[in-house]
Amino acid sequence: MSQRTFSIIKPDAVRKGYTAAILAKIEEAGFKIVSIKRLSISKAQAEGFYYVHAERGFFGELTDFMSSGPIFPMVLEKDNAIADLRKLMGATNPAQAEEGTIRKEFAASIGENAIHGSDAEETAAFEIGYFFAGIELK
Ligand code: DAT
Ligand code: MG
């Protein structure tokens, strides 16, 4: 059944000029790009997005990184979108990511790993609503 998920092309990938190549992989994998925009977020906005990780040791580093430059948040649609995007992204640590995944090809380290993808229906709903208004999602 058709499902929506949320993704972000992270500041490292944008800085390195990988945006179009990552979008091409996403489209080749059968995702429809429902909505996309480029913006920079503040440290506080990054903290709000990643609130589930607030107690983790890497939270400061993560939110500094996510507010360090422009990002491309987007909403993607396809059958089984949430699980299929996670597969296409590869492991959080690119050293463990499988061949053919976005993180294997474009990520430098566990902290700067090129792409975000929602991990469940509830997180996808929260994350889509964090970045997009209903009128942007028709
Ligand atoms: P994912 O992005 O694969 O869903 P996650 O939700 O566990 O991974 O963590 C969110 C982000 O936090 C991750 O993309 C990069 C950063 N991160 C996770 N573990 C980290 C670690 N051990 N050191 C530094 N950054 C880390
Ligand atoms: Mg996650």
Task: Give catalytic status of residue 116 as yes or no.
Answer: yes
The answer to whether position 90 is within a domain reads yes
Can you tell me the distance from the alpha carbon of 54 to that of 67, in angstroms, rounded to the nearest whole number? 15
The answer to whether position 95 is within a domain reads yes
Domain count across the chain: 1
Under DSSP, is residue 92 helix (H, G, I), strand (E, B) or coil?
A: coil
Atom of ligand 1 minimally distant from the CA of 113: 14
Interval between CA 135 and ligand 1 midpoint (Å): 31
CB under 5 Å of ion ligand 2: residues: 119
| Average pLDDT value over all residues in the chain | 98
The answer to whether position 29 is within a domain reads yes
Residue with tokens 């999602």: 137
Residues 18-37: what's their mean pLDDT? 98
DSSP letters, 31-64, are: -EEEEE--B---HHHHHHHTGGGTTSTTHHHHHH
Q: Per residue in 34-66, pLDDT tens?
A: 999 999 999 999 999 999 999 999 999 999 999
Domain of 91 in residue numbering reads as 2-133
The answer to whether position 138 is within a domain reads no
The answer to whether position 88 is within a domain reads yes
CB 91 within 8 A of CB 97: yes
User: What is the CATH number for 54?
Assistant: 3.30.70.141
Q: Per residue in 89-104, pLDDT tens?
A: 999 999 999 999 999 9
Record the pTM. Answer: 0.98
Enter the ipTM: 0.98
Q: How confident is the model at residue 1 (pLDDT cuts 50, 70, 90)?
A: confident
Interval between CA 100 and ligand 2 midpoint (Å): 20
Annotated catalytic residue within 116, 117, 128, 132: 116
